[in-house]
Amino acid sequence: MWTPTILGTAASLAAVVWVVAAIVDRLGRRRLAPTPPEILLLAASTILLLLALQTLWEPGAVGRLDSEAVREAMGLRSALAAAALLGFLAPTLWRITARLQAHRHRLLELERAEEGYRRLFEHSSEGCYLATGDGRLLRVNQTFARLLGYEAVESCVGTSQWAYVPYLVPGRREQLVAVLQRDGTVAGFESQIRRRDGSVAWISESVHAVRAADGSIHGYEGKLVDITATRQADEQRRRMFDLSQDVLCIASADGKFVQANAALTRALGYSESELKRLSFTELLHPEDRLGAAVELRRLALGVPIVNFLARCRSKDSVYRSLSWTSVPVGGVCYMIARDLTSQERIERQLRLAATVFETATEAVIVTDAHGRILKVNPAFTAITGYREDEVLGQHQRIFSSDRQDEGFYEAMGHVLQTTGHWQGEIWNRRKNGELYAEWLSMASVTDGAGRIVHFVGVFSDITRRKRDEERIRYQANFDVLTGLVNRWQFQGRLEQAVERARRNHGRISLLIVDIDHFKFINDSLGHGSGDALLKEVGQRLTTCVRENDTVARIGGDEFAIIISESRDHDQVTAFAKRVLAALGERFQVKDSEVVISACVGIAMFPAHAETVDELVRNAATAMSHAKEQGRHTLQLYTDDMATRAIERFQLEASLRRALEQDEFELHFQPQVDLDTWRIVGAEALIRWRQKDRLVAPGEFIAEAEASGLIVPIGDWVLRAVCRQIVAWQAAGIAPPRIGINLSFKQFRKPDFLAGVKRTLAEAAIDANGLQFELTESLVMHDADAVINLLEAIRDLGIELAIDDFGTGYSSLNRLKRLPVSILKIDRSFVSEVTTSQGDAEIASAIIAMAHSLNLRVVAEGVETEAQLGFMRAHGCDVIQGYHVSKPLAADAFTEFLLGWGRKHGPRLVSVKGTAA
């Protein structure tokens, strides 16, 4: 009777266990929800259990336990309970079995995964490692070992703290550790390492810390990747990027420069870091910005590549023309540009070159390597006369003349081949056959391999220049007018001659020939005749010398003769006399006959000079001494001439002072008429009053002439004479006509006549009271100008006298044309008239001829009774000389006049109207 009860209870317990297991499963989120057969089974078990329980708890059943029915009922109930128990137990058991199976399966899977991870770790292409919290290696894989240069994994493990990766750069490890300890992880940490064999590799390292439950780090897991190849590739790319002649850059989507190559930094002058702060568009020329933006926008719309031209501003604000190509790659833009600036410049230069070629005044000729003409410019045509189409394809030697031989062209070719340039002078022929000189510059043009491909020749026509040069060379050495050697060449020849004489112990003579009063001839005859005369003089001088001698024109009217042959003083003097004689013969200049005179100064080497300069100086000194002595003289240099030259210089200075300080005074020498024995005139003679003495004009007039001071001195004399006449008149004395000596230089001055008139007007005296004494040389030219001037003077009322007559060469015949009325016979004749037959004849001839020309004759320097007698006997009109009186100071002369009047009859007119 206990069996059903026990079974029922067990079944109930089984049901409870099942329910609990189901709930646990659900809570454990296991998908062990009851399946439909399970539910059916449970439902059936529950019914069976309930049925078993009903039979058990039926009223009275306990009381009938021994009965058959009861045994039957008990048996049924047990069967029901057993069935229910089975029903409940079956799923529970199934569930438990399933759970056990799942667990076993999971363990199996874990084992497989563990094996997979191990294999992955071992065979990873990355170098993996596990390290302890203090940085000791626990485990590494093969790749790690190989990366560091080890054969076996074991040799790496156990390395001291953090030393497992041998970083190359000091401090790199510390950086990594610091980041790790701060962040617990590092990714892609790139460094260089030194491998075991010493080689260097690039690695990228990623590590993370493994933490314990309490958060402390108890290890690290890391991996290394060998990025050496990538880095090298990067480096190569970078280098290519930088070495590219084209501009390369990478710009971000918003147009900022990410990277720029050297070509870009070079082109724009910005450094890469400066560029990175700039955007592409802000560098563009404002006019090009829109176009560039449109093109770049097209990239965003999917166009794979765009090209555009845009000018970019360089750092120094110059725009460079760039031709851009842009390609989108990832989120950035790769941009390539070609700098067109230099190309544009080349184009400009080409255009310029073409213009130069066309418009140059120099001829340009381009040939191939064989000298065949490829191109010529218009100037070429202008110079040679050949048109371009006539010469194309021809050899450039078609123009050559026979002035250059084959050797010349060979040498030229050689120079061209070796140096690439040749320049020089060359004679060619124009189309019309005419020879011309050109200055040619040739250059060879080579190709990239250094082979000559062209020749370019530039030339100008220098024919004119050559002629000019020849002329200049001639002019540099020769006097254009006379064709004689000029001063410059004379100097050279003299140097040579002196040098030669020095070597050979020879002698040379230098003669300086100066025409007397040439300026006057020039002025009076006109320059054309003056030039013709100089030419003639040159020719005459040339006929005097031998072939080795030199005749030079060294100044306007100054000639020089170098006699290189040794001659002694006498020979040279004789030669100089011949020169003077030759020049003394009349010249036919144009339509008129001219007679001139000259002075010659002679100096000899080595007698008178040691150097060329000295020789020239001394010959010139001798020449001026000759001049001082009068016309047509020669003078050999003497040593005291040099001292005199210095004295003369000092004299000139004192003369100037004398004029300023009014140190001059006038003396008067009376002239007596031989018929009436009256005083008919007086010559004014200048004196220089120095402290203790009275200086005679012989000592200073020559220097005054030479220095030109004679002009103001002459003016002073004229004014002084006028003043004196006024003074005499004021004193009631009627002075005789006063003779004034005129210098050539004074007379030649253009305003001479006007000056005389002015002085006379200022003094308010009559011109009749004056007489001008002129030397022969002064009036020897019968040029109209001289005659006109003399006539004008005469017309004023001033009497004209020829002074020192007989010393010059003027013929009496020529005097006929001159408005002179008095002729003064030079003292040198007068003094000898009683002793020299010749002088006596000359004097008497002069007197006779003068009378035939209606001239009155004054004999100068009559000192003796005998001379006076001669003059009287030969009909001379007037005498002047010590026999009558020496020149007297104004007061003395006044006295003399008064005394003479008392003795020989009055010539005085009393101012008060009473005859003395």
The residues binding ligand C2E (CB under 6 A) are: 669, 685-686, 696-698, 701, 714, 717, 741, 743, 803-804, 827, 860-861, 863, 880-882, 887
Q: How far is the CB of 679 from ligand C2E (least distance, A)?
A: 15
Q: Does 516 bind Ca ion (CB under 5 A)?
A: no
Given ligand C2E, Ca ion, none, residue 696, with its beta carbon under 5 to 8 Å by kind, binds: ligand C2E
Q: How far is the CB of 645 from Ca ion (least distance, A)?
A: 27
Given ligand C2E, Ca ion, none, residue 457, with its beta carbon under 5 to 8 Å by kind, binds: none
Given Ca ion, ligand C2E, none, residue 544, with its beta carbon under 5 to 8 Å by kind, binds: none
E strands present in 776-834:
799-805, 822-825
Q: Closer to Ca ion by CB, 741 or 777: give it.
A: 741
Q: How far is the CB of 765 from Ca ion (least distance, A)?
A: 21
Q: Which helix (H) or strand (E) holds 674?
A: none
Given Ca ion, ligand C2E, none, residue 686, with its beta carbon under 5 to 8 Å by kind, binds: ligand C2E
Stretch that binds Ca ion, among 71-79, 282-290, 772-780, 788-796 (CB under 5 A): 772-780
Q: How far is the CB of 742 from ligand C2E (least distance, A)?
A: 6
Q: Closer to Ca ion by CB, 455 or 772: give it.
A: 772
Q: Does 773 bind Ca ion (CB under 5 A)?
A: yes
Q: Does 707 bind Ca ion (CB under 5 A)?
A: no
- The Cα 65–Cα 80 span in angstroms is 18
Cis peptide before 906 (omega within 30 of 0): no
Q: Closer to ligand C2E by CB, 444 or 741: give it.
A: 741
**Whether the Cβ atoms of residue 532 and residue 589 lie closer than 8 Å to each other:** yes
- The Cα 342–Cα 344 span in angstroms is 5
Q: How far is the CB of 865 from ligand C2E (least distance, A)?
A: 12
DSSP conformational letter for 416: H
Q: Closer to ligand C2E by CB, 860 or 877: give it.
A: 860
Given ligand C2E, Ca ion, none, residue 882, with its beta carbon under 5 to 8 Å by kind, binds: ligand C2E
E strands present in 638-709:
664-673, 679-689, 694-695
- Among candidates 355, 351, 358, which has minimal Cα distance to 376? 358
Given Ca ion, ligand C2E, none, residue 210, with its beta carbon under 5 to 8 Å by kind, binds: none
Within 124-255, residue ranges assigned H as helices are: 142-148, 172-183, 228-243
**Whether the Cβ atoms of residue 314 and residue 267 lie closer than 8 Å to each other:** yes
Tell me, residue by residue from 729 to 748, as one string, x for binding to Ca ion by CB under 5 A and - for no binding: ------------x-------
Q: Closer to Ca ion by CB, 514 or 803: give it.
A: 803
Q: Closer to ligand C2E by CB, 73 or 833: give it.
A: 833
CA atoms within 13 A on the CB side of 126: 16
Q: How far is the CB of 873 from Ca ion (least distance, A)?
A: 22
User: Degrees (nearest 5) of the Cα angle 684, 690, 696?
Assistant: 40
Given Ca ion, ligand C2E, none, residue 275, with its beta carbon under 5 to 8 Å by kind, binds: none
Q: How far is the CB of 654 from Ca ion (least distance, A)?
A: 24
**What phi, psi does 53 have (nearest 5°)?**
-65, -35
Tell me, residue by residue from 842 to 861, as one string, x for binding to Ca ion by CB under 5 A and - for no binding: ------------------x-
Q: How far is the CB of 634 from Ca ion (least distance, A)?
A: 23
Would you state the structure tokens that stand for residue 593, as one six-digit string?
A: 């006959």
**What phi, psi does 864 have (nearest 5°)?**
-120, 165
421-429 and 878-880 strand pairing: unpaired
DSSP conformational letter for 34: P
Q: How far is the CB of 722 from ligand C2E (least distance, A)?
A: 13
Q: Closer to ligand C2E by CB, 439 or 809: give it.
A: 809
Q: How far is the CB of 887 from ligand C2E (least distance, A)?
A: 5
Given ligand C2E, Ca ion, none, residue 486, with its beta carbon under 5 to 8 Å by kind, binds: none
Give residue 121's region: left, alpha or beta (phi > 0; psi -120 to 50).
alpha
Q: Which helix (H) or strand (E) holds 84?
A: helix 68-123
770-775 and 598-605 strand pairing: unpaired
Given ligand C2E, Ca ion, none, residue 328, with its beta carbon under 5 to 8 Å by kind, binds: none
Centre a 10 Å sphere on the Cβ of residue 621 and count the other Cβ atoms it contains: 22
Q: Closer to ligand C2E by CB, 495 or 863: give it.
A: 863
Q: How far is the CB of 552 from ligand C2E (least distance, A)?
A: 33
Would you state the structure tokens that stand for residue 183, as one six-digit string?
A: 């962040």
- The Cα 608–Cα 614 span in angstroms is 8
Given ligand C2E, Ca ion, none, residue 438, with its beta carbon under 5 to 8 Å by kind, binds: none
Q: Closer to ligand C2E by CB, 431 or 687: give it.
A: 687
What percent of the residues of the chain are helix, what percent strand, and what percent coil, each to the nearest 5?
Answer: 50, 25, 25
**Whether the Cβ atoms of residue 510 and residue 602 lie closer than 8 Å to each other:** yes
Q: How far is the CB of 720 from ligand C2E (least distance, A)?
A: 9
Q: Closer to ligand C2E by CB, 608 or 631: give it.
A: 631
**Whether the Cβ atoms of residue 401 and residue 435 lie closer than 8 Å to each other:** yes
Would you state the structure tokens that stand for residue 786, as one six-digit string?
A: 């001289």
- For Ca ion, the binding residue among 288, 799, 804, 877 (CB under 5 A) is 804
- For Ca ion, the binding residue among 339, 803, 839, 877 (CB under 5 A) is 803
> DSSP for 477-489?
HB-TTT-SB-HHH
Given Ca ion, ligand C2E, none, residue 624, with its beta carbon under 5 to 8 Å by kind, binds: none
**Whether the Cβ atoms of residue 152 and residue 140 lie closer than 8 Å to each other:** no
Q: How far is the CB of 828 from ligand C2E (least distance, A)?
A: 10
Site size with Ca ion, rule: CB under 5 A: 5
* Stretch 857-916 residues interacting with Ca ion (CB under 5 A): 860
Residues 6+ apart with CB under 8 A from 38: 91
Q: Which amino acid is at 95?
A: R
- Which residues form the interface with Ca ion (CB under 5 A)? 741, 773, 803-804, 860
